[in-house]
Amino acid sequence: MSRLRVEPDPVSPIESDAGGHHEAHYHGGIADDIRMSSISSYTAGAGREQPEQQPLTPVNDSDQDNSYNSNYASHTNINIVPRNFNHEHKAAGFGPDNIIQQTPITPLHRRAPSVWEKTTEKWTWEVAATIASLLCQGAIVAVLAVYQGRPLEEWTFFFSINTVLATLIAAEKSFMLFAVASCLGQLKWVYFKTKNSPRPLHHFGYFDDAAKGPLGALRVVFSFKVRWGIAWVGALVVVLSVAVDPFAQQVLSFPTREVVVDDVGGVSFGYTHNYTFGAEVDPQQIGKMGTEEKMYPWILGETVDGGMIGTITAGLYNITAPPKYNCTSKCLWKQAYVSLGFESICENVTQATMATEKCSGEPDGTGRMECNMTTPGNITLQTHLGLEDGFTALVVGTKRLDYGVVRDGDGLDGVGVSPRFTRLAVLNGMEPVNFGFEEAHLAGHSVHECELGLAAWRYSNVSATGSNFTVGTNEKIPIETNGTYVKVDGNFTGMIQNYDEIKFTLPSGDNMPELTIRAADFGALGDFLSREPFTGTITNMLSRGSPGIRSGLLKADVPAVFDTVAKSMTDYIRSGPSSSLARGSRIDGVVFIHVEWGWLALPILSAVAAALLLVVTMYASARLKGLSLWKDSTTPLLFTHYNVQDGSLNTQMAQPRDVKAFAESVRATIR
């Protein structure tokens, strides 16, 4: 037999109308075998002898004053008996007359309740906790909504956004579980109050375990003994609270995205609307231009753009320099840019040229056979075949298209100038057939005629990554009309001066710029391409003179070679001294804040379910008359009176403050 002795607390005595101790005896029995119902009173049957009241003695503790407070005149005996009480129990002397013997506890002298007591007797703290939980959830949604899709660097708070989110989730979960625990505690009293027949006492444990944590809550969720929807919802909220933190950790991710950042000073590539180097006219040649049929060099060699000469030479051998631009990582140019450049137009004229071929001489013995032919562009080519000199492997002939400008000594101002400055004819020869016979002739020749001239190029969708410069759209804009010669000094109308210009107008539309090239620099290009070492002949044995740079055309794909030359020349002036800078943007890898809203569903639903649970619990408690708001307290069980006949529990301490005051005034031990 367990014996619970209760004595007044000497530290905080309370007043009572009668002196005495309170002693509760628990005789046998198991909680699972007890059925209890709503509060009622037990009265012994008529004629039954009431057991004699036994005076209580204080518990002698070494650390307490043995003085006895005689303000308690009543005592309480609580006897727990088997649920299935029968005649065998009564025959053994264990019956209703000696099951419970108690003297009603005299109501305590009530002191003024504290603020805490007033608060906890109602739902103030639970409502406040629920509101705080919902506010935390709202703060989470607000913060994430504000920073969704924004760079992480814009978060400047002392704590990281992950820390703030974790803190708000922890606070929301704590507030929520506080309210849910109180609801589950109160629901156990509602549970035993809402049924006329007694319920198993051990169901108290289900509610208490559910309020303690997820494992206990699982018992309620999967229990077939407690089929009560309200408590089941509360237990489910406790169980799901385990997943709130893991779900919250999945809400935020930080992907790296490419962001275009304006970089006014760093990112650039060149483009130009004019070509000006500084070539100078040779004064000694000017007088010959109007009378001589043969083209004389009229540009001072030391003033020619050597960079352009090197670019042409490299292009002949398919050597291209990397484009010049400034980009440290990854860059983008959003706008389109029009730049002055060059173009080549080539045509295979083999059949038309060979139709004009006329040969003389004999190739056998020590003889020599020579053949002359003319291209459709009026360029004369000569080949030969002989034992001593071999056969012609390559012939390059040119014709200047700016010839009229140079020779015109009468008023240059306003003269039309073609944008094409040089026409070239390239013959690649093959070994002769029927060598040594009188009918011998050359076979397998190929003749191409190409023109080099000015053109405009539109660059759009330009990007760069490291050493890779990419032009998404490289559109050629042909210059379809002649340019206009512009004299700088009108006093010298018949003479080319160093600062004279030729202006070209592009087709109208899209704000096309005017393109300009200095006349002397324009003439220098034609001058270089019209004579040695660019023009001449190469044989298969001994060159008639130095092979020169024309050897780059030997057995080559002539159109492809001149396309490379034109591109190299364009890139050169685009990045040359007359160029302007096209400012671009830098593409940086930026870490962004990304919110996966779906992972917030569980925290939000849990908070809302907890709020609804509180509302339903408050309503269920209010509608039951005489039910106190004991919530999760178990102390009231010590001050209840159990009636074996109807399984009811009675107490005279209806208010939680009374239970608390009485519990604070006594000390107890189990023996």
648: which residues sit within 8 A by CB, 6+ positions away? 36, 37, 38, 39, 40, 41, 42, 198, 642
pLDDT at 134: 95
Q: What percentage of residues in the chain have a pLDDT greater than 90?
A: 26
Q: What percentage of residues in the chain have a pLDDT greater than 70?
A: 68
Please determine, for residue 657, whether its predicted confidence score (pLDDT) is greater than 90: no
- Higher-confidence position of 551 and 239: 239
pLDDT at 394: 85
Please determine, for residue 619, whether its predicted confidence score (pLDDT) is greater than 80: yes
Please determine, for residue 40, whether its predicted confidence score (pLDDT) is greater than 80: no
Helix axes of 229-249 and 214-221: crossing angle, nearest 10 degrees: 130
Rounded to the nearest 5 percent, the helix, strand and coil shares of the chain are 35, 25, 40
Strands (E), 298-366: 325-326, 330-333, 337-348, 358-360
Please determine, for residue 59, whether its predicted confidence score (pLDDT) is greater than 70: no
Among residues 275, 154, 330, 338, which one has the least CA distance to residue 521?
275
Confidence of residue 262 (pLDDT cuts 50, 70, 90): confident
Among residues 276, 300, 322, which one has the least CA distance to residue 516?
276
Confidence of residue 377 (pLDDT cuts 50, 70, 90): very high
Question: What are the structure tokens assigned to 264, written together?
Answer: 């006014």
| H or E, element range at 591 | strand 585-591
Residue with tokens 């100078």: 280
The set of long-range contacts for 624-628, using a CB threshold of 8 Å and a minimum separation of 24, is 624/190, 624/193, 624/194, 626/38, 626/39, 626/654, 627/189, 627/190, 627/193, 628/189, 628/654, 628/655, 628/656
418: which residues sit within 8 A by CB, 6+ positions away? 401, 402, 453, 482, 483
- Cα separation, 438 vs 360, in Å, equals 11
Q: Which of 3-12, 32-41, 428-437, 508-517 has the lowest mean pLDDT?
A: 32-41
- Cα separation, 123 vs 126, in Å, equals 5
Span 2-22, mean pLDDT? Answer: 41
Q: Which of 22-26, 182-186, 506-510 has the lowest mean pLDDT?
A: 22-26
pLDDT at 447: 93
Top-confidence range, 91-95, 245-249, 545-549, 639-643: 245-249
Please determine, for residue 634, whether its predicted confidence score (pLDDT) is greater than 50: yes
- Phi then psi for residue 564, to 5 deg, are -65, -40
499-515 tens-digit pLDDT:
788 888 887 766 788 89
Please determine, for residue 446, whether its predicted confidence score (pLDDT) is greater than 50: yes
Neighbour count for residue 319 (Cβ, 10 Å) = 13
pLDDT at 128: 93
Question: What are the structure tokens assigned to 278, written together?
Answer: 């500084």
pLDDT at 123: 87
Helix count and strand count (H, E) for the chain: 16, 29
pLDDT at 320: 82
- Phi-psi category of residue 408: left, alpha or beta, with phi > 0 → left and psi -120 to 50 → alpha: beta
State how far the alpha carbon of 198 is from the alpha carbons of 40, 203, 375, 625, in Å. Answer: 12, 11, 120, 18
Span 370-393, mean pLDDT? Answer: 83
Q: Which of 111-120, 265-274, 304-313, 462-471 has the lowest mean pLDDT?
A: 111-120
Span 619-635, mean pLDDT? Answer: 78
Please determine, for residue 12, whether its predicted confidence score (pLDDT) is greater than 50: no
Please determine, for residue 549, whether its predicted confidence score (pLDDT) is greater than 70: no
Amino acid at 550: R
Question: What are the structure tokens assigned to 196, written together?
Answer: 């006329």
Please determine, for residue 630, whether its predicted confidence score (pLDDT) is greater than 90: no
Span 232-244, mean pLDDT? Answer: 89
pLDDT at 316: 87
554-606 tens-digit pLDDT:
778 999 999 999 999 999 999 888 888 998 888 888 999 999 999 999 999 99
- Higher-confidence position of 29 and 423: 423
291: which residues sit within 8 A by CB, 6+ positions away? none
pLDDT at 13: 39
Reduced to 3 states (helix: H, G, I; strand: E, B; else coil), residue 369 is strand
663: which residues sit within 8 A by CB, 6+ positions away? 635, 638
- Cα separation, 569 vs 308, in Å, equals 7
Among residues 200, 194, 185, which one has the least CA distance to residue 238?
185
pLDDT at 120: 58
pLDDT at 518: 87
- Cα separation, 671 vs 666, in Å, equals 16
Q: Which of 64-73, 136-145, 577-586, 640-649 has the lowest mean pLDDT?
A: 64-73
pLDDT at 119: 58
Neighbour count for residue 422 (Cβ, 10 Å) = 21
pLDDT at 251: 94
Neighbour count for residue 381 (Cβ, 10 Å) = 22
Span 144-173, mean pLDDT? Answer: 93
Neighbour count for residue 487 (Cβ, 10 Å) = 21
Average pLDDT along the chain: 74
CB-neighbour burial class of residue 336 (10 A; exposed 0-12, middle 13-18, buried 19+): middle
Question: What are the structure tokens assigned to 261, written together?
Answer: 């950042």
Please determine, for residue 356, whether its predicted confidence score (pLDDT) is greater than 60: yes
| DSSP label at residue 20 | -
DSSP, residue by residue, 601-631: HHHHHHHHHHHHHHHHHHHHHHTSTT----T
pLDDT at 642: 74
pLDDT at 603: 93
Strand partners of residue 477: 456
pLDDT at 72: 35
Span 7-33, mean pLDDT? Answer: 39
Amino acid at 565: V
Please determine, for residue 108, whether its predicted confidence score (pLDDT) is greater than 70: no
Amino acid at 48: R
Question: What are the structure tokens assigned to 452, written together?
Answer: 């080099």
Exposure string (b/e) for 432-460, b if CB count within 10 Å is 16 or more? Answer: beeeeeeebebeebbbbbbbbbbbbbbbe
Please determine, for residue 22, whether its predicted confidence score (pLDDT) is greater than 90: no
Per the omega criterion (within 30 degrees of 0), is the bond before 363 cis?
Answer: no
